[in-house]
Amino acid sequence: MNMVKQIPNLFTLLNLVFGCMACVAALQPGIIMTADNNGQLYYDVPEQIWLASVFILAAAVVDYLDGFLARLLRANSAMGRELDSLSDLVSFGVAPSLILYQFLRLSWAQGEQGLHQSVMVLWPAFLLPVAAAWRLARFNLYQATNPSSHFKGLPAPAAGLFVASLPLVYWQTNQAWVTALLLNALFLYSVLLILSGLMLSQLPILAFKFNSLAWKENKLRYGILAMAILLLLFLQWLAIPLIIICYVLLSLFFKKLFA
């Protein structure tokens, strides 16, 4: 066995480890009752859940690196492709669904029934890993064997990162309307349905893989990268969901450049 050729697979497995750690972090916090400055009681979840977001972000970094190293070392293999999909399902499907599960709990807890709502209102959170599994299986069957400059449907890591940004935005924002939006069950269900629908769709989405540094074939990628840096500088964590929204919209608007 050529150990050098296994380096990308080690990064893929590290992606899986980070995904597992994200699941643990998302499940640890329980809903607590606290009071505001006026003595009004309300429900919240401990801030530790943001660790799940950090682990998902770390998983995204090593997920990108494993593909980069596989191309660099010419170590692409069927084994690596399967490992990558299995790891992505945990890191960008299961772990983000647990974050949504907790936010839905928190959202429903603010209502009149508090924590007495049926658990069935939380089950839609598991639509996300179902859609991610379908998306990843479809990729392995078709796109991985017929590489192109675009994906069919939103990549699972992008959907996972969108959800992972929510706890970070929730605890870092000082905008009341943003917090209220993140505690709105209708908004959370909408995010769930839109992300799942985009993953299941056949829409052409730009693949963010650089085969060269040439401007001509990468101008859209460079444009998205520059936009992402500016948004991060000015909006911090709130930039992440906006970057993903812009990534999808720009992919659809400029699809003639790559599709």
Per-residue pLDDT for the chain (259 aa), expressed as one digit of tens each?
A: 567 778 888 999 999 999 999 999 998 866 666 666 776 666 666 667 889 999 999 999 999 998 888 777 777 788 888 999 999 999 999 999 999 999 998 888 877 666 677 889 999 999 999 999 999 999 988 866 666 668 899 999 999 999 999 999 998 888 889 989 999 999 999 999 999 999 999 999 998 877 667 777 788 899 999 999 999 999 999 999 999 999 999 999 988 877 6
In single-letter form, the type of residue at position 91 comes to S
- CB count in 10 Å sphere of residue 18: 24
Q: Which domains does the chain have, with CATH numbers?
A: 4-207 (1.20.120.1760)
Sequence-distant (≥ 6) Cβ neighbours of residue 188 within 8 angstroms: 100, 103, 104, 107, 182
Supply 259's token pair. Answer: 């599709």
In single-letter form, the type of residue at position 209 comes to K
Q: Residue 123's closest CA among 105, 146, 142?
A: 105
pTM of the model: 0.90
In single-letter form, the type of residue at position 237 comes to W
